[in-house]
Structure 1
C-alpha cells in the first residue's frame, strides 16, 4: 500500500451487510474511517446505532465517533427491511456494546468531520440517503472537502424493494434525488454488481471457526446472508458481500467497470417510485428533442465487477 490512507466516512443502517462493510473499513490499511453516521433503514435508528457500536467493538476498532441520524425518510414513514432479522443483525445474540454514540446528531458530525479532515473525504452511504440529503441542504459548503460519494443504491436493471427500485433509494427517493445534485463526483454501486460478489461456503466456514472475534463475526454475518434469495440462512450457504462491495470499490476502484451516465430518480407515486432511471442510449431520444434537454445528473455507474478480486480483497482484509 502506497500513499496516505483515504479518509472515509460511512453512513449506514447497520444490518448484516452494512456490518460486513464496517468490518472491512476498520481493517483495511488504505482506509482511514473517520466517523460513522446512522439512519433508519434495515431497522429503527436506535437499533442501527446499537448494531454499529457492537460491530466496531467486535472488530477491535479505535474510538471512531458514531452518531444517531434521521429516524424516518424525508416524506415517507420508516419501512424496515425484515430480511435482516428482528434486531437488524441476523439475531446473532451479540452482547450489548460498552461504547456509546457521540452527543451530536449525524448531520452535525458529518459537517464537523468532513470540514476537519486534512484531505478530501470519500463519503460512503450504504443506507437510505436521508442523512446525506439533510447534510447537503443544511451545509452545502461541505462539498468543497468531499472527494467523491460512493453510494450503495439503485439499479440499472432489476430492483429488490419493487421490480424496478432498490431498497435504499426506494426507502427515501427524495433524498436520493438530492444526493445526485451534490455537485461532486458520484459512483453508484447498485444491485447489478451488488449481487455478484459472493464468498463461497468453504471460506464462510473458515471465517466462522476463527478464534478472532471480528473475523468470526464476518463469517456469522455471511452465513446469515445467503447468496441466493430463498435459501435458509442456517444452511451455511455461500454469502454475498452486499454493501461491503461498495467499500471495496473505494479501496480498489479498479475492481469495478463504470460508465459516466445520466441518472435520475423516479419520484412519482406508483410502481416506478424509487427507480433509478439510468440512460444508456447512445443519443438523445424524441422526448429530449421535443422538450429540450433538461439537465440530468451524470454518475459513474458500476456495470461490471471483478467478483473474485473483491472476495480475495475482503478475506485478506478481515483476517488481519
Structure 2
C-alpha cells in the first residue's frame, strides 16, 4: 500500500559509517527500524553493542531493540578495523556511555522474532560481516518467507580494500557471505564500487558539526572522521578541510530510494579457497559462457542485483535532508 513505511532491520558492526547508517534509518520517514543486531567486525562485539546503543540514543530512536551477536566469524578469528574506526570503533569521539541495555536475547533470536513478527515482509540491511545472517539462515530458514529483500554492504566488482580483490565485510567471514548468497530471497549487493563514491562536501560536513541538534552534530563529527577527498574551500582543523564518505549509510539510502542505485542482475560467488583471492566476490559480467563452462559444465551461482552506478548528488541530498530531522 502506498505510503507505508518499509520495515527494516540493520545488522551492523558500529563503526563510524554504520553509525551514519543508523542515524539515517532512525530519521527517514519511510523506514521503520524494527531492530538492530550487532556482530564483531570494526571492533569487538561488546564495543559494537555499546556504540550502537549510544548512536540510537543520540538519534532519539526510542526503544529500538538491540541484540548482541557473534563475537567471531564462523571459522576464523575476529580481525578488527580499529586502525580505520579508532580504538573505540567510533572515531574516539568521547561519546557518552549508553543509558540503556541490550535485549535479553541473542541476535539470531531477535532477528527471527522481528522478521516473523512483522505484519509486512522485512528488508534486512547488513552493513557488517555476515556471521549473524548466516547463522539465522541456517538455524531458522523459515524466516525467508517474510524477508522482502536483503541489501548488504559488502563485496566489490573491481578493487577490494581488505586485500587487492576482497572487501572487508566479506573477507572477514567469507563462509558467511557464501551462505547469504543461498538465502533464496532477492539480494542487492551495495559494494565498494558504489560505496566509495558517495561523498558529502566539506561545507556540509562543517554545517552538520555546528548543529545544535545532537544527532545532526554526531553525523558531522562522524563524517569528519572519515575524510574521503580534500576540500579546497576548507580552512579548519581536525578534518574540517575534508569531505566525508557516507559509506554504509549509502546502503540504507538505497532501501529508502532504490531509484538512485543502478544495478544489474549478475551471477556472484565468494572465493573461499586459502590464498590471495579469499573473500573475493567474483561477479560474472560476461555476455556469454566461457571455456570453463563449455568444457566443465555450468557452476551453480547466485543471481544478485549488483550495484554498478550511483546517483551521488541524489543520495547526498537525501542523507542531509534526513539527518537534519529532529
SS at match of 2:252: helix
The aligned residue for residue 173 of structure 2 is 172
The aligned residue for residue 222 of structure 1 is 223
Report matched runs for 1:54-73 at 5 Å.
54-73=54-73
Cα RMSD (Å): 1.2
The aligned residue for residue 123 of structure 1 is 124
Q: Is the aligned partner of 1:45 residue 2:50? A: no
Contact 1:225 1:233 in 2 (8 A): no
Q: Deviations over 1:2-44 (max 9, x none)?
A: 5100000000000000000000000000000000000000000
The aligned residue for residue 312 of structure 1 is 317
The aligned residue for residue 11 of structure 1 is 11
The aligned residue for residue 77 of structure 2 is 77
Query: Matched residue pairs, number?
Result: 318
1: distance between equivalents of 2:287 and 2:62? 48
The aligned residue for residue 234 of structure 2 is none
2: distance between equivalents of 1:98 and 1:316? 28
Q: Deviations over 1:44-86 (max 9, x none)?
A: 0000000000000000112000000000000010000120000
Q: CA deviation at 1:228?
A: 4.1
Contact 2:30 2:256 in 1 (8 A): yes
- Which consecutive residues of structure 2, in runs of 5 or more, have no partner in the other structure? 231-236
Contact 1:198 1:227 in 2 (8 A): yes
Q: Deviations over 1:85-141 (max 9, x none)?
A: 000000000010101100000000000000000000000000000000000000000
The aligned residue for residue 253 of structure 2 is 248
1: distance between equivalents of 2:274 and 2:186? 29
Q: CA deviation at 1:291?
A: 1.0
2: distance between equivalents of 1:143 and 1:84? 33
Contact 2:202 2:240 in 1 (8 A): no
- Which consecutive residues of structure 1, in runs of 5 or more, have no partner in the other structure? none
Contact 1:226 1:233 in 2 (8 A): no
Q: 1:316 to 1:235 in 2, by over 3 A?
A: closer
The aligned residue for residue 265 of structure 1 is 270
Q: CA deviation at 1:152?
A: 0.1
Q: 1:260 to 1:233 in 2, by over 3 A?
A: farther
2: distance between equivalents of 1:293 and 1:269? 23
Q: CA deviation at 1:234?
A: 3.2
SS at match of 2:318: helix
The 4+ residue runs of structure 1 with deviation greater than 3 A are 232-236
Contact 1:166 1:274 in 2 (8 A): yes
SS at match of 1:246: helix
Q: CA deviation at 1:295?
A: 1.5
Q: 1:44 to 1:233 in 2, by over 3 A?
A: farther
Q: 1:223 to 1:236 in 2, by over 3 A?
A: farther
2: distance between equivalents of 1:224 and 1:287? 45
2: distance between equivalents of 1:270 and 1:209? 47
